[in-house]
Amino acid sequence: MSSPARLIAALFLAWLSWLPPAAAQQAPPAADVPTLEAVTVQGEQPGPGLWRATRDGRTLFILGSLAPLPKDMTWKTDEIDAALTHSGALISLPRVRIKPNTGFFGRLALLPFLIGVRNAPDGATLKDTVPPDVYARWLAVKARYIGNDRGVERYRPIFAVLELYKSAVKKAGLGKSGEIVRTVSDLARRHGVKEVPVEYTLLVDDPRAAIRSFKRSTLDDVSCFAQSVDNIDVQLADMTRRANAWATGDIAALRDERSERQRATCMNAVTEGGVAQRIGLADVPKAVRDTWLATVDATMANNAQAVAIVPIDDLLGDNGYLEALRAKGYAVASPDDPD
């Protein structure tokens, strides 16, 4: 599923879903031909191919999404187009929403509480928060990728990591994966295929108290920060390699245990804290997977064939969605299987 930054952002930026709907920005419409600027891979590329899960004569084709991706690439959509032509449904990319158990005006009342939520408690800076040797290394990578931004010095370490990755990815010439998802949605609409949403909503009963507690609390995120600072150049190289692997359909190269280990460190920093535990944030990944599996069962009960989009890092691994499908009796074939 990506770099650690995207996973942490998915959790923390969910707080922004508490804002009134008018504050949301609508994504621009997709072009007929998706183009994404490349680092090394350019031109028309096949993408990773489709996983195939079959049970009781019914087939689910699965596209693994990835971020970031090469920018100057044209994705050859023949395979996904053909799969959608004979499908009755497209199961959307799983989404998480964290929202207050309150109405519209309750959300408005939360806005003042959200101010400063990413800053360290009690006016502390990164220099105060992380060990001196780690901070010295941070200054070096900050100068290289972020530049002279004093504001980030007031951030909690995990939010500083987000800024570091966002700037580094941009400098590396990598882009977002949203165009891929929009392209698949456009193809589904073109073929008259209904889109089935997968959304898990975590309701927070006392959001004001949760935000106040979060602002006062400390996160065990120094380890995540140190790993990210020390590994940023290696991570960028890995992101580039995996982006190119996605584009060219190199499934073996998409399996990345080092990224998984760092992702686990940063995820634990987010989900194992007291505030996160109290609102149930630690349970979200399993809840999302269970929601997706239930959606698959319901969709396949009514369709002989369907297509799904899943972040590729959620798809792979011992605890991934593919293994969960096997446990439910599906026969799963990888795009690089000989047959």
Do residues 164 and 142 touch, judged by C-beta distance below 8 A? yes
Residue where the block lists tokens 């359909």: 249
Q: Residue 190's pLDDT band (boundaries 50, 70, 90)? A: very high
Q: Residue 170's pLDDT band (boundaries 50, 70, 90)? A: confident
Amino acid occupying residue 317 = G
- Rounded to a whole number of angstroms, the CA Rg of the chain reads 21
Each domain of the chain, given as residue ranges in start order, spans 4-333
Q: State phi, psi for 4 to the nearest 5 degrees.
A: -55, -35
Residue 62 bridge partners (DSSP): 51, 308
Q: What is the pLDDT of residues 60-110, one digit of tens each?
A: 999 999 888 877 777 889 999 999 999 999 999 998 876 654 554 444 444
Do residues 208 and 42 touch, judged by C-beta distance below 8 A? no
Residue 89 bridge partners (DSSP): 194
Q: What is the pLDDT of residues 114-166, one digit of tens each?
A: 445 677 777 889 999 899 999 999 999 999 999 988 889 998 888 898 889 88
CA distance linking residue 100 with residue 292, whole number of Å: 23
CA distance linking residue 21 with residue 30, whole number of Å: 22
Do residues 72 and 38 touch, judged by C-beta distance below 8 A? yes
Cα 69–Cα 70–Cα 71 angle in degrees, nearest 5: 110
Q: Which long-range contacts (CB under 8 A, 24 or more apart) does 230-239 make?
A: 230/137, 231/262, 232/141, 232/145, 232/164, 232/165, 232/168, 233/141, 234/258, 235/3, 235/4, 235/165, 235/259, 235/262, 236/168, 236/169, 236/172, 239/3, 239/68, 239/169, 239/172, 239/174
